[in-house]
Structure 1
Amino acid sequence: MGPPLEGEPKRKRTWVHCPIIVGAGPSGLAVAACLSDLGIPSLVLEKAHCIASLWQNRTYDRLCLHLPRQFCQLPLMPFPQAFPKYPSKHQFILYMESYASHFSIKPRFDAQVQSAEFDLELGCWRVCVGEEEEELVTRWLVVATGENAEPVVPEIPGMERFGGRVIHTSGYKSGSDFKGQKVLVVGCGNSGMEVSLDLCRHNASPFMVVRNSVHVLPREMLGFSTFGVAMALLKCLPLRLVDKFLLAMAQLILGDTDKLGLRRPKAGPIELKNLTGKTPVLDVGALSHIKSGHIKVMGAVKEIRKGGVRFVDGRKEDMDAIVLATGYKSNVPSWLKGDDIFTGEGMPQTPFPNGWKGSNGLYCVGFTRRGLLGTASDAHNIAKDINLQWKENN
């Protein structure tokens, strides 16, 4: 990519001597902190007006971490000891704000990256920022926008005819907005389960659509985190044996979920997570409401009609609102050009733990499908790799 062609708007070009990190969520902050610990500055670009914008602006009020805090802390700084085992959304945001302050990370907000491309002639990355198209030039570019950058909104036949409220979970805050209403919840992952539970607690009637098989595990086993138990067992036992143990304990604690319309996949929960990135649901109370009938499990939707829905089994139900608990996706393909790390879906081509580095000073973090543990691992690796080059040139 050379200089602007004739007729193109001229861009203000600024040389940035340090790494540019795109995204001020947990992943971007983690890399900035690891670089800071090695004495390397960075420029963090964030399209929103705050750090951790997904957590601050697009999560529901009752959200808590699904895993114990020791599995969710960022590098070099643990959670405060006074925090509970499963910190709330607001506590996690406070932790990240303290984290940014501790490492003197001061992102440039309202700085949306329009495009980024490696310039062979310059031997650097050209990063176009904002509506005025300022161009920043750097040797190192860290993509930290993560796998949850944009909501996934499925195309359901007849949605335009519905007439009622339709929102993605990114816009859902509390079941108090749906008191006394019949609500179709599309999706049965952790978000779908928790939204359904929240709706129940506010006297709404959720109908949860289960289109595919799903693993539901207890969040804890005999007072210990299920995730922690699994991680400990994997150190000394084969994965499939650990999966069999988890499923046996789930059957003992939760009962046969197949009878509730929640069919388990053929692959075990950890095997499936490694193969597809699909996370098992950790039950925090929704299952008891399913057993009592307060949360109704439904099959796939055939079509949406005015004020209601028709399912593939022929059943029809009137609905007041629809909540799409259909997840998120990467937005990398919309702005990163000519890279060698990402697939067309915006996920690393090389699986964890080796997907963090590309060529020409390009890195990615927050795409491991292993939560903040994966983020911490990638952040350390990226900082160490940049440090070797930094020492050679400074």
Structure 2
Amino acid sequence: MTETARPDHDVVIVGAGFGGLGAAIEFKSLGFENIAILEREQDLGGTWHVNHYPGLAVDIASVTYSYSFEPNPYWSRLFAPGVELKRYAHHVADSYDLKRHMQFDTTVTRAEWDERERLWRVATADGATRTCRYLVTATGFLSQPHTPDFPGLDTFGGKIIHTTAWEDGHDFTGERAVIVGTGATAVQLIPEIARQAETLTVFQRTPIWVVPKVDFGIPAPVQKIFARVPITQRLARMVNTAALEALMVFGVLHFKQARIGNRGAELLARAHLRAQVRDRSTRAALTPTYDFGCKRPTFSNSYLRAFNDPHVSLQTSSIDRVEPGAIITTDGDRTEVDVLVLATGFDLWGTNFPAFDIVGRDGRDLGTWWRENRFQAYEGIAMPSFPNLLSLNSPYSYSGLSYFTTIEGQMTHIRRLFGELRQRQATTFEVTEEANAEFLARVTEKLQSSVFYNGDCSSARSYYFNQHGEAALLRPSSTLSTRREMDGFPLDDYRYR
């Protein structure tokens, strides 16, 4: 290796959320120490750093929404609040000595493969460029906020708050508040705003399926048992994981074969809605017209009840324009507003795949290639013509309902891949076109049994679907199958140099 081919870092990981932390843990276990973790925010934690709006909490039981190899026995609730997830991220970073590798306020703008030197050149917004042998993108699935382009939004005279840029301590008391959106974030936030605001108007484009949230505080004696007898927490994790697996596999992925499971979940959500909302017309407006699972459902015991309050109203007409002190709908309704809250989600398929420009071998641009040739990634992690690139947030990579299932599966893939790389005394890997095409064909075929293609998803407006109408996010396999495949993929599916 020449001096010019000696990179600044062995590994550059873009993103210091749980995906990036997991990748760093795996690479350190493989013996890599010259690692740089580049994070655009001021601290680690990913979505649990960016989001800190009132009511924020995990919507997967915390015993499952965490690394299986690094359990936390001290969750305060079954569904832990967001501040505890942020604290857990710091605990993990400290436990595995990751913080010394982190560089904050560092936004990656472009990465380009240098075929002659066989390394990546990574450019950042401050004008710097650094090189690395291996590049890992861990920018998350929901990292690029979407701000709607309502006509007149820039003329609004009140306060505008996007949920990803929350103003801590903002008091809605005496204010006429409007929130746009009824996704998972809004479900958590709406009851909190309703407790303070003089009036709250919720603008809904698409209703969401909501099921009861079986949440409770975890007593200190139970936490002590988890800490002293770890197998008890592993059993709790196993039970919860099994329930999530049943919901995902039978309710979503095998809709065609097990439609009764999907219908059972829908009936539960309908019963919950009927028990929570008194007004019949409001219930009808809050009832989705798409099948359960077409759009990610959520858990709540307070969201639906908020619409019983006389000062909370639901608006289902589309927004025509924004004026300095009001919102006007397409049917002419006018809503006076002091503070406008945008719970409008993220731009998943437009700007997040990928989150920055990535140019591989022979000048192949990843974003352009995905949009012109279908979204695809071998085993949800690698693409042909992109040597030494591991993309953790990729098409067909999300496995199960807990993101940690995806992370740990990808860590397993990295371990197997780099074991073979060392066995061959190679420094470069690249998945073959044939292996990538076979994987894409296989997952596409398996997804034909899912609710996405056998159910009625026409009105869901779900981020599961890309602009081509393909549900190219979820991997159509159970958690156990995914782990087996990640730990047993054919090694010859890659070329090594």
Bin for the TM-score computed over the shorter chain:
0.7 to 0.9
Partner of residue 375 from structure 1, selected from 407, 420, 424: 407
> Does 2:265 correspond to 1:246?
yes
> Does 2:57 correspond to 1:35?
no
Aligned pairs (5 A) from 1:316-335:
316-329=334-347, 330=352, 332-335=354-357
> What's the secondary structure of 1:150's corresponding residue?
coil
Task: Give the aligned partner of residue 376 of structure 2.
Answer: 350
Cα offset, 1:372, TM superposition: 3.2
For 1:221 and 1:26, how far apart are their aligned partners in 2?
23
Q: Which amino acid aligns with 1:118?
A: W
Q: Which amino acid aligns with 2:375?
A: Q
How many residue pairs match? The answer is 373
> What's the secondary structure of 1:310's corresponding residue?
strand
TM-score by length of structure 2 reads: 0.67
CA contact (8 A) 1:213 1:264 kept: yes
Task: Give the aligned partner of residue 336 of structure 1.
Answer: 358
CA contact (8 A) 1:260 1:290 kept: no
Higher relative contact order (CA 8 A, sep 6+): 1
Tell me whether 299-308 or 211-220 shows the greater mean CA deviation. 211-220
Alpha-carbon deviations, 1:49-82, whole Å to 9, x = none? 3212542244214311111012211352112245
Partner of residue 134 from structure 1, selected from 129, 138, 141: 129
CA contact (8 A) 2:147 2:344 kept: yes
Task: Give the aligned partner of residue 431 of structure 2.
Answer: none
For 1:322 and 1:94, how far apart are their aligned partners in 2?
30
> Does 2:316 correspond to 1:289?
no
Q: Which amino acid aligns with 1:137?
A: C
CA contact (8 A) 1:183 1:205 kept: yes
Cα offset, 1:235, TM superposition: 5.8
For 2:18 and 2:320, how far apart are their aligned partners in 1?
38
Alpha-carbon deviations, 1:279-300, whole Å to 9, x = none? 2232241110113344311112
> What's the secondary structure of 2:10's corresponding residue?
coil
For 2:216 and 2:154, how far apart are their aligned partners in 1?
47
Tell me whether 281-290 or 53-62 shows the greater mean CA deviation. 53-62
Aligned pairs (5 A) from 1:1-394:
15-16=7-8, 18-41=10-33, 42-106=35-99, 107-138=102-133, 140-173=134-167, 176-220=170-214, 229-232=243-246, 238-239=254-255, 240-255=259-274, 259-269=283-293, 272=294, 278-299=295-316, 300-329=318-347, 330=352, 332-338=354-360, 349-350=375-376, 354-359=379-384, 360-367=387-394, 368=397, 370=401, 371-393=403-425
CA contact (8 A) 2:211 2:299 kept: yes
Cα offset, 1:174, TM superposition: 5.3
Which structure 1 segments of 5+ residues have no match?
1-11, 273-277
CA contact (8 A) 2:370 2:376 kept: no
Tell me whether 39-48 or 192-201 shows the greater mean CA deviation. 39-48
CA contact (8 A) 2:210 2:272 kept: no
Q: Which amino acid aligns with 1:144?
A: A
Q: Which amino acid aligns with 2:307?
A: I
CA contact (8 A) 2:59 2:298 kept: no
Tell me whether 178-187 or 73-82 shows the greater mean CA deviation. 73-82
CA contact (8 A) 1:197 1:285 kept: yes
> What's the secondary structure of 2:260's corresponding residue?
helix
For 2:381 and 2:332, how far apart are their aligned partners in 1?
47
For 1:63 and 1:345, how far apart are their aligned partners in 2?
33
Alpha-carbon deviations, 1:222-265, whole Å to 9, x = none? 99999863523556784332211111112223328873512313
CA contact (8 A) 1:115 1:128 kept: yes
Cα offset, 1:149, TM superposition: 1.9
52 and 14 in structure 1: CA distance in 2 versus 1, 3 angstrom threshold:
farther
CA contact (8 A) 1:196 1:295 kept: no
For 2:247 and 2:185, how far apart are their aligned partners in 1?
27
CA contact (8 A) 2:156 2:325 kept: yes
205 and 388 in structure 1: CA distance in 2 versus 1, 3 angstrom threshold:
farther
Cα offset, 1:17, TM superposition: 5.3
> What's the secondary structure of 1:117's corresponding residue?
strand
Alpha-carbon deviations, 1:170-201, whole Å to 9, x = none? 12245742211111111000112222211112
350 and 285 in structure 1: CA distance in 2 versus 1, 3 angstrom threshold:
same
> What's the secondary structure of 2:202's corresponding residue?
strand
127 and 393 in structure 1: CA distance in 2 versus 1, 3 angstrom threshold:
farther
> What's the secondary structure of 2:413's corresponding residue?
helix
